[in-house]
């Protein structure tokens, strides 16, 4: 059987056309995957008052798994994000919550502090300052992302504890933002410009207003 040069050329041309067609289809598919849907996923979350709070889970300062859906709705839940354990503003903020809870215990309020620190970091921080509420470890920033909290690169610092130098390394450094979640699981309050020394006062005022009916949670 003799195959002419012309026939070979036609076969090659047909093959190239077929490859080009499949390549174009694959390219369109890839473009669709990186199009509007991907852009939507990449868009930062921006929670508003009245939105349902995100469902999340993280390890506590004791290494146990804390799940928000086991806490939301039972009490007013304060979720406050802060940059780093054992730093000035963050220590002042944590001690302010500690003192307020010690002075006037609240059965209707639960407070959790969240940062990019590890479980061990939180354990030291809680012990040194005798904190009376839960700290959650968010070294990969997933909880911060769920709340739309901006977080930058991690960092490290050393502090002397019990006569020994202890290294505190964190995976991310979150902005200082505070959220209050009401008994229906809605975002009742957001503060994106937190004063660490007045945060507790502002939050407890909001909760008192919610509990008394003087404050309503309306969508923004």
Could you read off the pLDDT of 99-144 as tens digits, one per residue?
999 999 999 999 999 999 999 999 999 999 999 999 999 999 999 9
Beta bridge partners of 81: 114, 177
For residue 26, pLDDT over 50 is answered with no
> pLDDT tier at 9 (50, 70, 90 boundaries)?
very low
pTM of the entire structure? 0.81
Residues 49-89: tens digit of each pLDDT: 999 999 999 999 999 999 999 999 999 999 999 999 999 99
CA 165 – CA 158 distance, rounded (Å)? 6
The residue that leads in pLDDT, 36 or 150, is 150
CATH architecture observed for domain 57-212: 3-Layer(aba) Sandwich (3.40)
| DSSP three-state, residue 137 | strand
Given the residues 47, 90, 143, 188, select the one marked as catalytic.
Answer: 90
The domain segmentation of the chain, as residue ranges, is: 5-42, 57-212
Q: 22 pLDDT exceeds 70?
A: no
Residue by residue, DSSP assigns 151-171 as: EEEEEEEEEEETTEEEEEEEE
Mean pLDDT calculated for residue range 151-158: 98
Residue 15 pLDDT class (50, 70, 90 cuts): very low
Model confidence at 91: pLDDT above 50? yes
Mean pLDDT of the chain: 87
Type and span of the H or E element at 57 = strand 57-60
Asked about 16 being catalytic, the answer comes back as: no
pLDDT at 148: 98
User: What do you get for the CA distance between the two ends of the chain, in Å?
Assistant: 79
Closest to 111 in 3D by CA, of 138, 90, 132, 84: 132
pLDDT at 29 over 60: no
pLDDT of 71: 98
Confidence of residue 219 (pLDDT cuts 50, 70, 90): confident
The percentage of the chain sitting over the pLDDT mark of 70, rounded to a whole number, equals 80
- The confidence score (pLDDT) of residue 7 equals 47
Is the model's pLDDT at 201 over the cut of 50? yes
Please state, in angstroms and as integers, the Cα–Cα distance from residue 159 to each residue in 20, 80, 85, 123, following that order.
62, 23, 10, 14
């Amino acid at each position: 059987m003799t195959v002419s040069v012309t026939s070979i050329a036609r076969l090659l041309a047909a093959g190239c056309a077929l490859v080009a067609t499949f390549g174009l289809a694959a390219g369109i598919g890839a473009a669709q995957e990186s199009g509007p849907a991907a852009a939507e996923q990449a868009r930062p979350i921006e929670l508003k008052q009245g939105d349902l709070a995100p469902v999340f889970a993280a390890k506590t300062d004791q290494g146990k798994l804390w799940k928000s859906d086991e806490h939301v709705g039972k009490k007013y839940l304060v979720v406050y994000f802060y940059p780093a354990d054992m730093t000035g503003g963050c220590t002042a903020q944590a001690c302010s919550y500690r003192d307020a809870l010690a002075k006037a215990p609240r059965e209707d309020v639960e407070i959790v502090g969240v940062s990019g620190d590890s479980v061990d970091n939180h354990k030291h921080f809680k012990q040194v300052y005798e904190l009376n509420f839960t700290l959650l470890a968010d070294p990969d920033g997933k909880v911060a992302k769920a709340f739309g909290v901006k977080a930058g690169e991690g960092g490290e610092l050393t502090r002397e504890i019990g006569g020994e130098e202890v290294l505190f390394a964190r995976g991310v450094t979150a902005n200082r933002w505070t959220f209050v979640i009401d008994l229906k699981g809605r975002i009742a309050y957001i503060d994106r410009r937190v004063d660490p020394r007045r945060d507790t006062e502002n939050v407890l005022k909001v909760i008192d207003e919610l509990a008394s009916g003087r404050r309503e949670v309306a969508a923004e």
